[in-house]
Amino acid sequence: MNRLEMKTAHKLVGTFNYQLGQLEKGYANRTLYINLSTNGFAEKPVTELMKQKFIGGRGFGLKLLWDGIQGHTQWNDPENELIISPGPIGGITQYPGAGKSYVVALSPLTQSAMDSNAGGHFGPFLKFSGWDALEIQGKAERDVIVFIDGTKGTVTIEEAPLEAVNSHILVEQLTDMYAESEADKGTISVVAAGEAAEHTLIGLLNFSFYDARRKAVRVKQAGRGGMGTVFRDKHIKALVIKSPKVRGDLNNPADMSALKKAGQKIHEEIRTLDDSQCRMRKVGTAHLTQIMNDYDLLPVRNYKFGSHPEATKIADDVFLAKYFHLNGHDECWYGCSLACAKVVKSFQLKTGPYQGKEVLVDGPEYETTSAAGSVLGIFDPEFVIETNFYCDTYGVDALSFGTATAFVMECYENGVIDDRVTGGLKLNFGNAEAALELLHRMAKGEGFGKMAGLGIRRMKKLFAEQYGANPDFLQDIGMEVKGLEFSEYVTKESLAQQGGYGLANKGAQHDEAWLIFMDMVNHEIPTFEDKAEALFYYPMFRTWFSLNGLCKLPWNDIVPADNHLTAEPAKVPEHVHNYVEIYNGVTGANIDDKGLISQSEVVYNFQRVFNVRMGFGTREYDQVPYRAVGPVTVEEYESRQDRYDAQLKDILNLDPEGKTTAEKVQILRNYREEQYRKLCDAVYLRRGWDANGIPTIKTLERLGIDFPEVAAVVKKKMTQG
Amino acid sequence: MIKVNGKDYPWEEGLSIKQLLVNKGFTFPLLVVILNGKAIADNEYVGTVVNDGDEVKIIHLMSGG
Ligand code: SF4
């Protein structure tokens, strides 16, 4: 089928014309609302209060979602919204990492507010087209494409029956269709999901950008929390945007020279230091696979273990030597000289509907080498690449896929489920063929693929109810918090990072805090108070990226040559200073590094109250599976017996001699669970929350978010107890 | 005996910072090494010798998504 036939089959069901305008100090000062049930549109003003309190990006997403739904709204109600917003710094080209889009919606996995981010060009293009956020509510009757033409000032909703659903085809089709010429392709960005996003709750969104050197459409993923599932539930096939030609001054920053100055410095650092630091330009985050293995932090076999002798087979050197293609645009937004978006340019697929085809694969990143590798007990780079490809094109979050499949494998090996349940798939650890087949079945919504696609939390319930599994065992080994599957780090030896996962607003994702080295290796945060301080500063600091359309990687995946001479090198003070400068430079504000933390604290606490509003957000929802805390099984304990025995002796003053391993597992468990409880106490106190983990009215007042509807949620919960 | 990140660690004659990193299995590239309160640049790891009783901090920074 050719593009013309597809385009001709489009049926226009809604049109909106708007005035084009200029950005002012990073803001368009309006957001675009689209209702797919009514095919209606609205332009919403962005107030000063909105900018002050919510900044942009995730902050805008949360505020718009809060206003758009009720406490009883379900993820698949038409009322649920999907919001994309880049933030005020988003779209600058002088400083690396300024092209991120932040997506917010009620998540099918957690049933609360989720935020997830992606590179690609959509977010900046949205701003250049005149909008600080895109807010989509309602459900279309049939599959639609929403097209925003930022060169003409039009938005259309078009029924689009003929285009593919799977991303790798769809993004090419739509880039071709909406670009006027090859040269014009760089002005188009597409957001798409895939067929698995229709049949699973772990759907992701792909955000495209055109790689002119490779003449290929590339995709970056907003993976976490089922955003693609919400997208397809709304019958959105794709969002397409056409932007005015990109220039470095489109944000109309208050002080361009501040951006240039900060940018020049860091570009020089990257140029001179990256090769001896993280080698992001060569291998991206995949440099971490070997390191995580060296430090016993790489998830192996459903997080039972933290290393494996075969991990070298999926390490960065393997991808660099044989698979990565380095001569293109590996920056996911203009000006990112860290350019970590690695690509396998031509890979011949061995399975599935595209078997035999040569495809381009975006990735793999570190997380994929675990989720499509070690966590499943599979150490085959081609399996990693193939799974990476299919997860993206089907619209499946590779992390949730990997972590959930690892859970399934452990259940299968323990006889919790058998071949009758899996439809004949022999889901033992290490079985790459079965894992890929499971992914293909997820995409089709067939058999056990449908069940696995529900995610770990729902599988735990089903396995207990339908197959008589022991719910306590499933709770111990099911690596999820708040319904979201863990990302790919082993946390057994870092209490602070257990909190980093357990206390994160969205669920078990490490983007709020990654404290493992600081805690486990450096021993810099020995007391509960120290850990609580780290679990205050880092989540607040890292939240700030999400308010501003920024990528976190240029903060600390490259550090200045004299960083070691600073008082707090882990914070990379010079880069924090850069962020203050570029924020002030874009918006004309005058904040300092404390102001940056305060901005985040507002949104962070608002999100916590959002969780309370949706029926969560208290201590019981901050609990982590014991697999994240310590050894669940005798096998795990004995694999690191020296370490655990030493801990019994040194910390608990107990002689392990004469005790069975099962007894030792239990003793260690009692101790570690108590530690986690105390950690939560300390963190709640530091954050200004009550003993149940709810932000107090005093905290809301201090942050200036004691809005009546927000305070009412807190008061109601506190009276209910 | 020396102290590494606050914990006792066996010392050996002629131990350099570089060798200490190898012994400890510290392969992470973003490190800050402080020997008896003095920061050591990474190009000095080979030539800097750790003496018995010294205190070494080997601070791992962070990286990744
Ligand atoms: S560091 Fe990597 S992920 Fe971040 S903006 Fe640059 S290319 Fe994109």
- Kindly write down the DSSP assignment for every residue of A475-506, as one continuous string: HHH--EETTEEP-S---TT-HHHHHHHHT-TT
Q: How far apart are CA A711 and CA A694, in angstroms?
A: 11
Pairwise CB contact (< 8 Å): B63 & A367 = no
Give all strands (DSSP E) within A274-348, no chain letters: 343-348
Q: What is the ipTM of this complex?
A: 0.94
| Residue of A510, A522, A553 lying closest to B59 (CB–CB) | A522
Give the count of alpha carbons within 13 A of A302, CB side only: 29
Q: Please state the rounded mean pLDDT for residues A374-397.
A: 98
Residue A379 has pLDDT above 90, yes or no: yes
Instruction: List the Cα angle A331/A337/B30 in 5-degree steps.
Output: 110
Give, for ligand 1, the residue of A209, A274, A332 to mutate: max count of ligand atoms closer than 8 Å to Cβ: A332
For residues A545 and A688, membership in a common domain is answered with: yes
Q: How far apart are CA A27 and CA A589, in angstroms?
A: 13
Give, for ligand 1, the residue of A116, A338, A342, A365 to mutate: max count of ligand atoms closer than 8 Å to Cβ: A338
For residues A501 and A467, membership in a common domain is answered with: no
Atom of ligand 1 nearest to the CA of A97: 5
Q: How far apart are CA A236 and CA A2, in angstroms?
A: 21
Q: What domain range is A622 assigned to? A: 495-720
Residue A223 parent element (H or E): none
Question: What CATH number should be reported for the domain holding residue A525?
Answer: 1.10.599.10
For residues A533 and A551, membership in a common domain is answered with: yes
Q: How far apart are CA A101 and CA A119, in angstroms?
A: 6
CA of A393 to the centre of ligand 1 (A): 20
Give A117-142 pLDDT, tens digit per residue.
Answer: 999 999 999 999 999 999 999 999 99
Mutate to test the interface with B, among A272, A558, A564 (most CBs of B within 10 A): A564
Cβ atoms of A164 and A170 closer than 8 Å: yes
Residue that terminates a domain, selected from A193, A216, A242: A242
CATH superfamily of B2-60: Beta-grasp domain (3.10.20.30)
Cβ atoms of A338 and A557 closer than 8 Å: yes
For residues A213 and A233, membership in a common domain is answered with: yes
For residues A19 and A163, membership in a common domain is answered with: yes
Using alpha carbons, select from A47, A293, A253, A30 the residue that is nearest to residue A153.
A30
Domain ranges across chain B: 2-60
Give, for ligand 1, the residue of A100, A336, A552, A556 to mutate: max count of ligand atoms closer than 8 Å to Cβ: A336
Q: How confident is the model at residue B64 (pLDDT cuts 50, 70, 90)?
A: low
Residue A217 parent element (H or E): strand A216-222
Q: Is residue A253 part of a domain?
A: no
Q: How confident is the model at residue A2 (pLDDT cuts 50, 70, 90)?
A: confident
The alpha-carbon gap from A522 to the nearest alpha carbon of chain B, in Å, equals 5
| Residue of B29, B59, B64 lying closest to A366 (CB–CB) | B64
For residues A307 and A442, membership in a common domain is answered with: yes
Q: Is residue A258 part of a domain?
A: no
> Which residue of chain A has the CA closest to B30?
A277
For residues A321 and A468, membership in a common domain is answered with: yes
Cβ of A550 closer than 6 Å to ligand 1, yes or no, is no
Residue nearest to atom 2 of ligand 1 (CA): A340
Give all strands (DSSP E) within A454-563, no chain letters: 480-481, 484-485
CA of A589 to the centre of ligand 1 (A): 26
Q: How far apart are CA B7 and CA A166, in angstroms?
A: 53
Asked whether the CA dihedral A350, A351, A352, A356 is positive or negative, the reply is positive
CB atoms inside a 10 Å sphere around CB A580? 20
Give first-to-last CA distance, chain A, whole Å. 60
Give A661-710 pLDDT, tens digit per residue.
Answer: 999 999 999 999 999 999 999 999 999 999 999 999 999 999 999 999 99
Q: How far apart are CA A36 and CA A24, in angstroms?
A: 29
> Which residue of chain B has the CA closest to A292?
B28
Asked whether the CA dihedral A687, A692, A694, A697 is positive or negative, the reply is negative
Mean pLDDT of chain A: 97
* B59 lies within 8 A of chain A by CB: yes
Q: What pTM was estimated for this model as a whole? A: 0.97
Using alpha carbons, select from A254, A210, A277 the residue that is nearest to residue A585.
A254
Cβ of A362 closer than 6 Å to ligand 1, yes or no, is no
Q: Please state the rounded mean pLDDT for residues A474-481.
A: 98
Q: How far apart are CA A445 and CA A433, in angstroms?
A: 18
Buried b (16+ CB within 10 A) or exposed e, A172-199: bbbbbbbbeeeeebbbbbbbbbbbbbbb
Residue A84 parent element (H or E): strand A81-85
Give A43-54 pLDDT, tens digit per residue.
Answer: 999 999 999 999
Q: How far apart are CA A152 and CA A421, in angstroms?
A: 54
Question: What CATH number should be reported for the domain holding residue A475?
Answer: 1.10.569.10
Instruction: List the Cα angle A522/A527/A528 in 5-degree steps.
Output: 120
3-class secondary structure, A57? coil
Q: How far apart are CA A95 and CA A90, in angstroms?
A: 10
| Domain count for chain A | 3
Cβ of A96 closer than 6 Å to ligand 1, yes or no, is yes
Q: Is residue A704 part of a domain?
A: yes
Q: State the pairing for strand pair A40-45/A113-118.
A: unpaired
- How far is residue A720 from each of residues A374, A610, A714, measured CA to CA in Å? 44, 17, 10
CB atoms inside a 10 Å sphere around CB A152? 12
* B22 lies within 8 A of chain A by CB: no
For residues A29 and A176, membership in a common domain is answered with: yes
Using alpha carbons, select from A228, A196, A224 the residue that is nearest to residue A453.
A196
The alpha-carbon gap from A278 to the nearest alpha carbon of chain B, in Å, equals 6
Using alpha carbons, select from A455, A443, A388, A31 the residue that is nearest to residue A220.
A388
Residue A1 amino acid letter: M
Q: How far apart are CA A194 and CA A238, in angstroms?
A: 10
For residues A534 and A464, membership in a common domain is answered with: no
Cβ of A97 closer than 6 Å to ligand 1, yes or no, is yes
Asked whether the CA dihedral A82, A88, A94, A96 is positive or negative, the reply is negative
For A35, the token pair is 């209702």
For residues A423 and A553, membership in a common domain is answered with: no
The alpha-carbon gap from A511 to the nearest alpha carbon of chain B, in Å, equals 7
| Residue of A367, A518, A563 lying closest to B65 (CB–CB) | A367
In chain B, residues with a C-beta closer than 8 Å to the C-beta of A285 are: 63-65
Residue A568 has pLDDT above 80, yes or no: yes
3-class secondary structure, A73? coil
Give A86-115 pLDDT, tens digit per residue.
Answer: 999 999 999 999 999 999 999 999 999 999
Cβ of A62 closer than 6 Å to ligand 1, yes or no, is no
In chain A, residues with a C-beta closer than 8 Å to the C-beta of B29 are: 276-278, 287
pLDDT for position A328? 82
Pairwise CB contact (< 8 Å): A523 & B6 = yes
For residues A72 and A152, membership in a common domain is answered with: yes
Tally helices (H) and strands (E) across chain B: 1, 5
Give B2-60 pLDDT, tens digit per residue.
Answer: 999 999 999 999 999 999 999 999 999 999 999 999 999 989 999 999 999 999 999 99
**A235 — alpha (psi -120 to 50), left (phi > 0) or beta?**
left
Give A585-624 pLDDT, tens digit per residue.
Answer: 999 999 999 999 999 999 999 999 999 999 999 999 999 9
Percentage of residues in chain A with pLDDT exceeding 70? 100
Provide the edge-to-edge strand list for the sheet that holds B31-35: B7-9, B2-4, B55-60, B31-35, B38-40
In chain B, residues with a C-beta closer than 8 Å to the C-beta of A524 are: 59
Residue B63 has pLDDT above 80, yes or no: no
| Residue of B7, B27, B59 lying closest to A294 (CB–CB) | B27
> Which residue of chain A has the CA closest to B63?
A557
Cβ of A283 closer than 6 Å to ligand 1, yes or no, is no
CA–centroid distance for A104 within its chain = 11
